[in-house]
Amino acid sequence: MTTPTHNPPMNFSARSALLLALILTGCGSSKSSSSSASAEAGASGLPVIDVDADCPVIVSESNCDRTQRPILFVHGTYDSGVTATNVAQLFASNGFCSDRFAAMDYDSLVDLTALTGSGQANNATPAIDAAIDALIAANPPFTQVNIMCHSQGALQCYSYLDDPGHAAKVAHYVQLAGGPESAPPGPPDGGAVPTLSISSMSDTVEGPEGVTGAEKTVLLTWEDHQAVACSTDTFVAAFEYLHQGSDGGPDGLTPQYTTIQCSDPTITLSGLSETLGDNQPPPPGERLEVYELSDPRDSGAPVQVFSDPDGGLITWQAKRLVPYEFRGVSPDGGTIGHQYFAPFKRDDRWLRFVVPSTDPIAAVATNAITSLNDNAETTFIFRSASGAFRPDHGDTLTVNGTEILNSEDATTKTVTVALFGFDANKDGKSELGVTSEPGAPFVPYFIRGTDLFIASSPPAFVQLNFDGLQMAVPNWPSVTQGLTEVSFP
């Protein structure tokens, strides 16, 4: 395979400006760890799930390995803890306790050019310290954690680890697409924190450079900037580096599973409702309703309702492999939007339900997006859970049988993490390709849009197929129901 070309790494100011365009990020399963393909759609229009076929192996949470040190994930710009999902679930599929894999969120919309003397952003230090203290307190006898830090999160972690007291709480540091660093992190007058540096030849944002002098260095080949945070290859490298023996060092084990395995029939779903980018609790009065999906318009009464949750925290006991709909509702009772995930195989403690932020930096990026719901048809946001849509690596995404990925809207260089599908010229037809709708949020990285017409009448399920995984979601009219977000595993 030919190694993709890449741009040289940008300076911090340039790359932070580009990253401000990243509206919806996150990683779920990698290309090789998608759920098995579902059967033909049933009479209702929903794919039929064969539990026995989809769950040939059960890795229960009840007997997870509590000898392993807790892990904290720190996200990048315009991002959140959702990016930890795939790697965390792969760790859990290999016996790691999912409640020990934490992801903390912080305000990533600070003035990123206002650097500290060490050359790193440092506004996340209090949040990182609080999250580490909480992990240590909840998991005696451990006095240290491992941390994995992506993109801007790597800059934040470097700053955090400058302090000797902070560095003493961290056993190992894993840098994920954090750009070039001249040495591992740690106090200027103290020892460096043992470091695993993971970067990729296909990272067109930060380039392939990593941490000089790292204890271990892994250079990936096909992973884009986001995929470095959450691909299966990243998981394997982190597992082998962090999986500890009785002496606290690597035990030489390799993971048994490199795909997400099912857990018990009752699973824990947990996450945060928060504003985009600055990751603050949602405005008072907003609520999140959860439905078991069964009908394009009416799935009965919600199975869970979360109103003004404390700090945006949401958690409940759900059913494995049941399709759910998550519906945002405003204080006046209007619908903000709808969000869908592939049916969950095991605990997911890294969910994020995002509402618009009042931060002026966020508004610049979100105004164009939220204005797309002037369509009476269905406006979709498709999220590539593996970091970016990559037809050059075999990705395929069909909507009612029509392939919508192509070399215009999803390439190695665009790093298309979120693909918007909407009737850009309102002609009732799908022209596909990249749309140049004025004001639409299409920038050099992360976001693309394609002209996709999906009628919202009569009520029906829209049939989706991403790399063999079938999903069905309702054709909500965006003018009254907001945007419809679909996250593939």
Query: How far is residue 325's CA from residue 174's CA, in Å, rounded to a whole number?
Result: 34
pLDDT for the residue 446: 73
β-bridge mates for residue 71, sequence order? 101, 146
> Can you give the pLDDT at residue 249?
84
Per-residue pLDDT of the chain (489 residues; tens, 9 = 90+): 222 233 333 332 222 222 333 334 456 444 544 444 444 666 678 998 889 899 999 999 999 999 999 999 999 887 889 999 999 999 999 999 999 999 999 988 775 554 444 456 788 999 999 999 999 999 999 999 999 999 999 999 999 999 999 999 999 999 999 999 999 999 998 889 999 999 999 998 899 999 999 999 999 999 989 899 999 999 999 999 999 988 888 999 999 999 999 999 999 999 988 887 788 887 788 889 999 999 999 889 999 999 876 667 889 999 999 999 999 998 899 998 999 999 999 999 999 887 777 777 666 655 555 566 677 899 898 987 667 888 888 899 999 999 999 887 777 777 788 888 988 888 899 999 877 543 444 445 677 888 999 999 999 999 999 999 999 999 999 999 988 999 987
Contact assessment for residue 237 and residue 172, using Cβ atoms and an 8 Å cutoff: no
Strand pairing report for 195-200 and 216-220: parallel
* Terminal Cα distance for the chain, rounded: 25
Positions of CATH 3.40.50.1820 in the chain: 59-242
User: Could you tell me if 227 and 388 are in contact, meaning their C-beta atoms sit under 8 angstroms apart?
Assistant: yes
Domain 266-487 sits in CATH 3.30.1300.10? no
Q: Note the pLDDT of residue 16.
A: 29
**pTM of the entire predicted model:** 0.89
Per-residue pLDDT at 200: 97
Q: How far apart are CA 293 and CA 44, in angstroms?
A: 10
* Residue pair 281/312 in contact by the 8 Å Cβ criterion: yes
Closest CA to 77 of 101, 109, 40, 124: 109
Place of tokens 């977000």: 485
Distance CA 361, CA 353 (A): 19
Residues of the chain with CATH 2.60.40.2190: 266-487
What local confidence, expressed as pLDDT, does residue 29 receive?
44
Inter-residue contact 229 to 203 (CB < 8 Å): no
| φ and ψ of 34, to 5 deg | -70, 155
Bridge-partner residues for 18, per DSSP? none
Question: What is the per-residue pLDDT for 436?
Answer: 54
Residue 368, pLDDT score: 59
Q: How far is CA 82 from CA 176, 208, 264, 269, 419, in A?
A: 15, 24, 22, 12, 17
- Specify the CATH number of the domain 59-242: 3.40.50.1820
Q: What is the pLDDT of residue 41?
A: 65
